[in-house]
Structure 1
Amino acid sequence: MAELFKRHAALGIRRIAAEVVVHPRRDPGVFREGVEFVRPFQKKYQHGLLLLDAAWEGAPPDIQAQIDRALADAGLGGWARAIVIAPELEIWVWTDSPYVVEALGWAGRKPVLGDWLRQKGLWRASDPKPSDPKSAVESALYEVRKPRSSAIYRTLAKRVSLERCQDAAFLHLRKTLQEWFGATP
């Protein structure tokens, strides 16, 4: 996420300084303790984001509404927002950019990555993206013996065009950032 925030022009915002703080209990922690977790940052930052995946063990169906309500009830609704990525962050990986193939270690391989994922039943031809994006990333990396690392996601966040991303959570994130940090102050 830190690399994504550096792409101010592509996001349609002015330059911002952003700190990414990971909750020690990851997505369930953000869901259950997000308001308390983000509150201390209110004095330090202009705004706060609670970013989490929708797909985790025990996740309720209405995560976004529950967190938004908790933020509003705590008086943080104008300062902080929740962005719930469905099903998970890896959904943003799957674009038709050649950088995805390169970052996942599939450049020059046959069959091409999309075809291989379809052959393995990980991506239906009728779908724009794999239904289980995390499993698709992990399977693709395993096949080429490339370890999963945050460096892959940093590379993608730096290089992949944001223009074609139509994921609802990404659009919500971009709209939120534009409201808070428009291109002109």
Structure 2
Amino acid sequence: MINKRPCVILVADSNMAATFRGYFKREAWHLSLGCSPFEINTDVGADLLVDEGGNDPGVYTKGHELLRPYQNSHHRALVVLDCEWDGSPGKDAIVAHITAKLVASGWAEDAVKVIAIDPELENWLWQDKPQVADVLRYKGDKSLRQHLAESGWWPANAAKPTRPKEAAEWVLKQTRQPRSSAIYQKLAEHISIKGCTDTAFAEMHAAFLAWFPLEVAV
């Protein structure tokens, strides 16, 4: 009998993979989620998969095929992709389509979860925290939050920049560093999990709590 692994995670690109790798590198990462710890190997091809085309439409159309071989080796499957891409049918349709395909291919419905981030992954990483400014190498006199507000990227009454990816690219251009997976991994290592207010992140959090409930000593 095969001893199955707890969970396989399929993501759309290398930046998403780096984000998960950074998060799971944190010491006692499960405590910030409030779930039980579970074994996760973030080497690509182990418990973390990246669509070989590195894009969201690829996960949308063939995610179930990429995950089919893992039904024999893993108990659960998490799929993560962005909502915004050419031809995207929108969050609800993305989640329904991929979930239906996974179930039809043999996964149990309660063993799969599809997370569609609206609009993009960067929504998870933006926080009004000095750690974000440090990773992005922002050294301005004003806080990064204020700088982005005055530049039209982050409205004063908004929890996140309205265009999170473009805002990140704009800051990186100013600090003269290319957008890279290493930056995403470093952000995920340092941002506050409790400070992430994104709906899709909350949905993933709920899935981990359901799959790996915290064991309370009697």
TM-score, normalised relative to structure 1:
0.91
How do 1:1-185 residues align onto structure 2 when only pairs under 5 Å count?
1-6=20-25, 7-13=29-35, 14-18=37-41, 19-25=47-53, 26-61=55-90, 62-76=93-107, 77-106=109-138, 108-184=139-215
Give % identity.
36
CA root-mean-square deviation = 1.8
In the aligned structure 1, how far is the partner of 2:134 from the partner of 2:94?
Answer: 34
Q: Secondary structure at the match of 2:197?
A: coil
In the aligned structure 2, how far is the partner of 1:161 from the partner of 1:37?
Answer: 31
Aligned residues: 184
Q: Secondary structure at the match of 1:163?
A: coil
Q: Structure 1: state its 5+ residue gaps.
A: none
One-letter identity of the residue aligned with 2:128: D
Q: Secondary structure at the match of 2:110?
A: coil
Deviations 1:10-65 (A, max 9, x none): 12221322422110122111101111111111112221111100011111122112
Q: Structure 2: state its 5+ residue gaps.
A: 1-19, 42-46
Alpha-carbon shift at residue 128 of structure 1 (Å):
1.5
Contact 1:27 1:56 in 2 (8 A): yes
In the aligned structure 2, how far is the partner of 1:88 from the partner of 1:150?
Answer: 15
One-letter identity of the residue aligned with 1:15: F
Deviations 1:106-148 (A, max 9, x none): 1x41233222222332222222211110000000000110221
TM-score, normalised relative to structure 2:
0.78
Contact 2:82 2:119 in 1 (8 A): yes
